[in-house]
Amino acid sequence: VLVLVYLFLARVLQSPFGRVLVGIKSNEHRMQSLGYLTFRYKLGAFTLAGALGGLAGFLYAVLFGFVTPELLSWHESGNVLLMVILGGMGNLAGAIAGAFAFEAMREIFADITKYWQLLMGGVIVAVVLFLPGGLAGVPGRIKRALQGGEAK
pLDDT in tens, 66-85: 888 888 888 888 888 888 88
Between CA 64 and CA 109 the distance in angstroms is: 24
* Mean pLDDT for the stretch of residues 39-66: 92
How confident is the model at residue 5, as a pLDDT?
A: 92
Contact between 98 and 88 under an 8 Å Cβ cutoff? The reply is yes
Distances (CA, A) of 18 to 42, 47, 56, 113: 11, 14, 21, 43
* Mean pLDDT for the stretch of residues 17-30: 91
* Mean pLDDT for the stretch of residues 28-47: 92
